[in-house]
Structure 1
Amino acid sequence: MNQEVLNVMKERRSCRSYKPEQISDQALQAVLEAGTWAPTGMGKQSPIIVAVQDPDTVAALSKMNAKIMGVDFDPFYGAPTVLVVLADKSAPTYLQDGCCVMDNLLNAAEAVGLGSCWIHRAKEEFESEEGKALLAKWGVQGDYEGIGHCVLGYWNGEKPAPAPRKDNYVYYVK
């Protein structure tokens, strides 16, 4: 049994306050590699990951996301890196594939000492004309759907305590 991996999964929390400093290239590469090893339906690897560290692009994505959410604050919580996960809609398991990538990214971030959070609304962002223009600018071609944003950075403050696990989380059929 690999207790270290299980501990990473137990200790991971959503980070909602980041230091402004950019993450190291080494940490970024480790997280991205973990994302590429996520399970996908029939091994088709329908997702792609766009790593965004350009401050102007991060700000533009944040603004788009906030508009969809209907809020007047940064939904990325000041994270300096945004990993956009998209998946090819021609794969019947594209949504599940993209979710597996997101999960690997989040757990890998914890393993390398980063804070992370899954931010929704990527679907709506990249269905918009502004989102489609960004994909074209980035050279992303194909029929992709936004699955989520994995925001990354160094924790600004302490991790919150975990919520207790609910009763009846697991049912056994033997």
Structure 2
Amino acid sequence: MKNAITVVRPMQESDLSEVLRIQAASYAGDIPESRASLTAKLLAAPTSCFVAHDERQLLGYVFALPWSSGAPPALNSPDCLIPSVIDCLYVHDLAVDPGARGGEVARSLFVSLLPLLDQFKLNRMFLTAVQNSSSFWQKQGFVPVQTSEGIDDKLRTYGADAVYMCRLTSD
């Protein structure tokens, strides 16, 4: 699977069954989100959600949302309303099929988000790293951010090891 050509394209609702399969193989505990939650995020921000695939199957996905850095989006919520004032692109979820890890799928998905910063006129990205993924995100230019009590309350829903991170872009 790692030698196949990977194509990144916008996510469609018809991709969600495969997205849920990859999500189930990638996360443990309370992290996996319902189809309703993922559908809400896709419908709220269809231009910033992508999938990577080869000629046979989906290899990975990313959900990103134009957002406010004051708090991460609710985890596993059936609703997703984009804030009226946005100041960042929030990378909500990026996962790669276990059989496709170790290649360039994750990096390709991440790179697909970079043009969105110009599109939305933003200069920073935020995310919540879970399940010991902060080292991957640090390689992409993210750094841990000091959080406030309000953000800490929301981060707890992402798991004990959740790390709120930011990546600034150069203007």
Instruction: Give yes or no for TM over 0.5.
Output: no
The TM-score, its normalising length taken from structure 1, stands at 0.33
Higher helix share: 1
The structure number with the bigger radius of gyration is 1
Higher strand share: 2
